[in-house]
Amino acid sequence: MKTTKNVLVLCTGNSCRSQIAHGWLSYFTGGTVNIYSAGIETHGVNPKAISTMAEEGIDLSNHTSNLVDEYKDIDFDFILTVCDHAAENCPVIPSKNAITIHHNFTDPSKLKGTEDEVKVAFRSTREEIKLYCKDFTKSNLTG
């Protein structure tokens, strides 16, 4: 009988928003839940996502950008899509009882602007995702 929950965070490229959510979910669950993140493509982990989370004391520097197919044999409890493109193009993931939840977060990596404007955008998305992950953890992963 499976006791530890498995959560997959899915985005287009597994480089920014899904990585940030992965970091926050790991933080809020304290290692009691298996958190995975993947993309329908891989774009590499965005260095600005790494530095933005480091400001909060969360280390993403060892994260990798993974394809969703790598996790096809894992029975997920929750699949969180964090961008519209991933939600619309999400492959069928054969988890028997997975609950899929979608929330589109702003993509700071698409912003064209000054270095400071980009930093502000990353911080804003980080805080959006932080609140979402905190609420999700409280509602679904802690008992």
- Please identify every residue annotated as catalytic: 11, 83, 90
- The CB density around residue 32, as the number of other CB atoms within 10 Å, is 13
Contact 90, 72 (CB under 8 A): no
Please state, in angstroms and as integers, the Cα–Cα distance from residue 6 to each residue in 10, 12, 98, 101, following that order. 13, 20, 9, 14
Taking CA atoms, 92 is separated from 3, 45, 79, 83, 100, in Å, by: 24, 24, 11, 16, 11
Measured CA to CA, the distance from residue 77 to residue 143 in angstroms comes to: 15
